[in-house]
Amino acid sequence: MLKIISKAQCYCIIIFLGVCVLPAQAKEAASMAADPALEKQVMEISEELRCLVCQNQTIAESDAGLAVDLKNQVRNMVSQGKSQDEIVDYMVERYGDFVRYRPPVKPVTYLLWAGPFILLFVGALVLFLTLKGRKQQVKDTPLSDEEQERLQAILAKKMGANSDGGEEVKS
């Protein structure tokens, strides 16, 4: 997890831009905290949008020039009363689904969104089959080590008289 932020590596241009052009946006920056509710909404939306010029950061986190511009754009649209969906659509129209950290649900991503539930289902199925098959297998092998162990366990339990509850002495 060594960190080298991309900023300086590939798009130094844009960072430079951030420094130079910011004065033009200073007015907006000052008004940022004027309306905390609006600002909160701006941050929430920004946190789902990818900063394209960074390696892997949201526009909320990044100080890159384009990220600042896009954040301002989000702020403008929020103050115009646009909904989150409208703002995200606006960004996707221009930069593609790549800007969305929450991928859209569409045929290509069905597997992504259904995946965890498929995995859970498969997991449950495997679990069920294993436990069932296991019971069968264990029953089929008489006098195995396991049986013996169980015997030992019972014996041991008798020895440690008051061992009910959470613990149990094996063998």
Applying the rule CB under 8 A, the residues between 93 and 122 that interact with other proteins are: 93-103, 108-109, 111-112, 115-116, 119-120
Taking the C-alpha atoms of residue 49 and residue 73, their distance in angstroms, rounded to an integer, is 12
**Cα dihedral 151, 156, 158, 162 sign:** negative
Over its C-alpha atoms, the chain yields an Rg (Å, rounded) of: 29
Task: Determine if residue 73 is left, alpha or beta; phi over 0 gives left, psi from -120 to 50 gives alpha, anything else beta.
Answer: alpha
Taking the C-alpha atoms of residue 147 and residue 150, their distance in angstroms, rounded to an integer, is 5
Contact by Cβ (8 Å): 38, 31: no
CB of 83 or CB of 96, closer to other proteins: 96
Q: Map the footprint of other proteins across residues 5-44, applying CB under 8 A.
A: 5-24, 26, 29-30, 32-33, 39, 43
CB of 85 or CB of 145, closer to other proteins: 145
Q: Map the footprint of other proteins across residues 38-97, applying CB under 8 A.
A: 39, 43, 47-48, 50, 52-58, 60-63, 65-66, 69-70, 73, 92-97
CB of 86 or CB of 127, closer to other proteins: 127
Q: Map the footprint of other proteins across residues 133-152, applying CB under 8 A.
A: 134-135, 137-138, 141, 144-146, 148-150, 152
